[in-house]
Amino acid sequence: MPNGTLSAHNPERLENPSLIDELNKAVASGGEKQRARILERVTDLFAVGSRGYSSEQVALFDDVLQGLCADIEVKARARLAHRIARINNSPPKLVRALAFDDAIEVAEPVLMHSQQLTDADLVENATTKSQKHLFAIAHRLTLSESITDVLVERGDRRVVNRVAINRGARFSPAGYGTLTIRARDDEQLSLALVQRVDLPRQYFLKLLETASASVRQALEATNPQAAAEIRATIDDVATAMQHEVRKTSDQYASTMRDAKRSFNTSAFTEANIQDPAHGQEFDRTVAALSKLGGFPVDLVERALLDKGDDLILILAKAADCSWATVKELLQMYVAERNLTSDDLARASKRYEKLTQETARDIINFYERRIKHRAHRNTPHRKN
């Protein structure tokens, strides 16, 4: 191709309809090396003037570069991907084609850096491409919940650990639930999760239930006042850590203040429980059920986190809740109950048979047990 055919100083040439024809002729007259040379020159031209090109000119580059990419070696496509990955207005169709390239050396640069890829592009890529593609996506500066949902569900251990340490990644309740389950067999993932400042408190508590010794050491480092309790039995650890996490949680403190204000200023009904439960708002649900039934917060948290449904049924019956509210509580993500319609039907029958008096007797027994344990663990002075 003659040196003057394309010039960054003559952008009007990019609007000449004969340009693609000229390129096609030049490519047809040469082999793969000729095509690769032309590709590099067109890429150079785009990179030099990218900020000044109109959308129509970018679209023309898109068509030209896609045509030149056909049937060239992986190395040439990879060089192109590296050149355009960080250019904000790179040709979008070309970027997408490179992102879906089977060769990871081609796809990786744009998957990691290109802003031309939409969330829909990334979700489709993470759903259909290799683990190496997922690993590249996990490095992006920001990741929405729709993308991380796919990464944590489909990704292998390396992918999941990478996205867990990505501070720009955001996770849905379902995503955090999946991560918590996977962390049971992955110490590295457990440590990554407990160090996330956006980890919801309910998932911190779920991690605690199955934490290994080394993970507990990390928890002790973040909660030094609870170190002695952490070294005690798992049950006592969970209770102590619940207190410690609540004390340091601004969100929890704000939620409890709002619940107390609502309880003191207006009629407090089971609607105050049903709405946050439906919205998967753990702290608000805990605060509301605790206030309505007069239950210890520890007990309500345990009920919502427990995979079984007995404790939920008991608390709800003691608080005189309708089945509609109980159903919302049972279907909260955090407990991973995954109840079928048949499971819910059986739970409904059990709830109907349970009397409020029996439910309150069970709760009173629990409270006496907690007080006894607290008294047992309190150091006594020697005379």
- Give the residue from 200, 179, 201 showing the smallest Cα distance to 191: 179
Judge whether 302 and 220 are in contact, CB under 8 Å.
Answer: no
3-state SS, one letter per residue, for 208-270: HHCCCHHHHHHHHHHCHHHHHHHCCCHHHHHHHHHHHHHHCCHHHHHHHHHHHHHHHHCCCCC
DSSP state of 30: S
Distance of CA 87 to the CA centre of its chain: 27
> How far is the C-alpha of 312 from the C-alpha of 318, rounded, in Å?
10
Alpha carbon 170 to chain centroid distance? 5
Angle at which helix 297-305 crosses helix 356-377, to 10 degrees, equals 110
- d(Cα 382, Cα 269) in Å, to the nearest integer? 48
What residue has token string 């007990």?
299
Supply 42's token pair: 């067109």
Cα-Cα-Cα-Cα torsion 259, 262, 264, 265, nearest 10 degrees, comes to: 170
pTM beyond cutoff 0.85: no
Nearest to 61 by CA among 82, 34, 89: 89
What does the alpha-carbon distance between residue 137 and residue 155 come to, in Å, rounded to a whole number? Answer: 11
Query: How far apart are the C-alpha atoms of 103 and 47, rounded to whole Å?
Result: 23
Q: What is the pLDDT along the chain (383 residues), one digit of tens a residue?
A: 433 344 444 444 444 445 555 565 655 555 666 667 777 777 777 777 666 677 777 787 777 777 777 778 898 889 989 988 998 888 899 999 999 999 999 999 999 999 999 999 999 999 999 999 999 999 999 999 999 999 999 999 999 999 999 999 999 989 999 999 999 888 889 888 888 888 887 888 777 766 665 666 665 565 555 444 444 433 444 444 444 444 444 555 565 566 555 555 556 788 888 888 898 888 888 888 988 888 888 888 888 887 788 888 989 999 999 999 999 999 988 777 888 999 999 999 999 988 888 888 888 877 776 665 555 555 544 44
CA angle 173, 174, 176 (to 5 degrees): 65
